[in-house]
Amino acid sequence: MKISKDFLWGASTSAYQFEGAWNEDGKEPSVQDIRTVPEGTTDFKVASDHYHHLIEDMNLFSELGLSAYRFSISWSRIMPNGKVSDRGVKFYTELIDGLLERGIEPIVTVFHFDLPLSLSKIGGWSNRKTIDEFSKYCKLLFDLFGKKVKYWQTINEQNILTLASKVIDGGNKTWKEVFQANHHMLVAQAIVMGIYHRGDYGGLIGPAPNICAIYPRTSSAQDQLAADYMSSFRNWLYLDAAVYGRYNQMAMDILKKLDAVPDITDEDRNIMKNNTCDYIAFNYYGSGCAKESTNNSNNKGSDQQQGLSIPGFFESTENNKLEETEFGWPIDAEGLRVTAHQIYSRYELPLLITENGLGCKDTLINGKVHDQYRIDYLQKHIQALRESINDGIPFIGYCPWSAVDLISTHEGFRKRYGFVYVNRSDSDLGDMRRIKKDSFYWYKKVIESNGEDLEY
Ligand code: BGP
């Protein structure tokens, strides 16, 4: 089956990882802007300085031939300390209008890891007041941009954000606190999906978790059960809530045994039940693998793709059938097809890939970046996407991470994903020059052929 003509060929970024200008034009700092600068790096808040390269970057998107661009809006830029900022509105208006003028569909995530500092100070998502603030913020965005933006996502990787707050950051919170905050995010998401639907803005809204198939380490029943538990805890809890408006039973079993069942009011239940999503956006980097939990399961070295374990239920483990990136993430293109089937057979909603890509240390040699390894990775994943479409799964589009190099969530600037190189490093902010990588010219050809020509 051929990919349909209206399929969106995109690329992704997020505000705090791309924009810079973290304290300019009235922007309030977000939780990302107050993080300790990793050892050996310069100020990472400058990111790729997109805020000051807006036109140049949009021209690059246009030259690349993108039909969509997925980005996030910085809550603390457009609504610093809860007040609307004209300068914040101006920036995103210029971006959205600039994309539309270039024939590029804007795909907007309203929240991507960058909670305003003022809300963090009152407890962030553990405080129900954040739900109200999020609703106001989203209503503002829908009113400002609802007629121009057709694809909205609520929260980027709520599952990772939640698990990170306990597992990755080695936080001191209890599981109960972690899942209470998660519950508030689920309620907030449902409320804004309701606002969006009642407002009749004319587009689609959905979640954007990081979803990946979890394989059992062996063919034993114990490992299969571990994989199912891990998948319920990492994947389905979040999508069942967004699509069905209820908690996943296996995930709930884990929460009960962790003494982490959140307080859920009758009103919360009604809100979740009555306000569900229109489509599913998801980020996919590679699959996961689980084995039966042993007593000493722990979460050392966890991040988005590795290391999550819950004693008594599952232990995340390496899949020795897969290669890994230089940053230790498994590469599993065919796993994208498995994941797509798992999602679609559960929910039967259109899918949109909002992130997928290879993070590695590119080198600039004589003004060029020969990133054949990235082309190989993307080629195989687009092939798997084509097969998934051929299997009958409806896909809205594909937005690899990332359009342009940007700052990694926890690996500084040395871990790059972009089609465009940004001339800076961790130790030197450089001149921020944009340089098209080999993958730029390759992806341009892929887009021109509507995914038919994947050769390099
Ligand atoms: C996803 C996030 C992105 C992005 C990407 C790559 O989890 O949504 O923000 O950064 O992963 O991760 P990293 O930057 O850690 O390599």
| Cβ atoms of 133 and 82 closer than 8 Å | yes
Q: Is 323 a catalytic residue?
A: no
Instruction: Give the pLDDT confidence of 170-200 residue by residue, as tens digits.
Output: 567 899 999 999 999 999 999 999 999 999 9
Q: Is 355 a catalytic residue?
A: yes
* DSSP 8-state secondary structure symbol assigned to residue 112: S
CA 454 to chain centre: 25
How much is the pLDDT for 296?
59
Residues 225 and 217: their CA atoms lie apart, in Å, by 11
Residues with CB under 6 A from ligand 1: 14, 17, 156-157, 160, 210, 283, 304, 355, 359, 401, 408-411, 415
Q: Within a domain: residue 455?
A: no
Of residues 82 and 169, more confidence is placed in: 82
How many residues would you count in the chain? 456
According to DSSP, the residues that pair with 109 across neighbouring strands are: 72, 153
Instruction: Give the pLDDT confidence of 6-37 residue by residue, as tens digits.
Output: 999 999 999 999 999 999 999 999 999 988 87
| Cβ atoms of 233 and 251 closer than 8 Å | yes
Dist. CA 265 → ligand 1 center (Å): 33
Instruction: Give the pLDDT confidence of 304-335 residue by residue, as tens digits.
Output: 666 688 999 999 999 999 999 999 999 999 99
Which residue is closest in CA terms to ligand 1's atom 9? 409
Q: Within a domain: residue 81?
A: yes
How much is the pLDDT for 305?
63
Of the listed 19, 157, 292, 315, which one is catalytic? 157
Find tokens 């859920």 and name the residue: 264
Provide the pLDDT confidence category of residue 211 given band limits of 50, 70 and 90.
very high
Q: Are strands 314-316 and 309-310 parallel, antiparallel or unpaired?
A: antiparallel
The torsion defined by the Cα of 384, 387, 392 and 396, in degrees rounded to 10, comes to 50
Q: Within a domain: residue 343?
A: yes
Q: Are strands 105-111 and 68-72 parallel, antiparallel or unpaired?
A: parallel
Provide the pLDDT confidence category of residue 405 given band limits of 50, 70 and 90.
very high
Q: Within a domain: residue 358?
A: yes
How much is the pLDDT for 63?
98
* DSSP 8-state secondary structure symbol assigned to residue 365: B
Output the furthest CA–CA distance in the chain (Å, rounded): 63
pLDDT at 299 over 60: no
Q: Within a domain: residue 456?
A: no
DSSP line for 140-169:
HHHHHHTTT--EEEEEETHHHHHHIIIIIS
| Cβ atoms of 27 and 74 closer than 8 Å | yes
Question: Whole-number mean pLDDT of the chain?
Answer: 94
Q: Within a domain: residue 105?
A: yes
pTM listed for this prediction: 0.96
Q: Within a domain: residue 3?
A: no
Q: Ligand 1 pocket check: which of 401, 407, 413 to mutate, most ligand atoms within 8 Å of Cβ?
A: 401
Instruction: Give the pLDDT confidence of 359-399 residue by residue, as tens digits.
Output: 999 999 999 999 999 999 999 999 999 999 999 999 999 99
| Cβ atoms of 40 and 429 closer than 8 Å | no
- What domain range includes position 196? 8-448
Domain tally for the chain?
Answer: 1
Q: Within a domain: residue 1?
A: no
Q: Using the atom order of ligand 1, give the atom closest to the CA of residue 410.
A: 15
Instruction: Give the pLDDT confidence of 33-88 residue by residue, as tens digits.
Output: 988 876 766 667 899 999 999 999 999 999 999 999 999 999 999 999 999 999 99
Q: What is the CATH number of the domain that holds 277?
A: 3.20.20.80
How much is the pLDDT for 421?
98
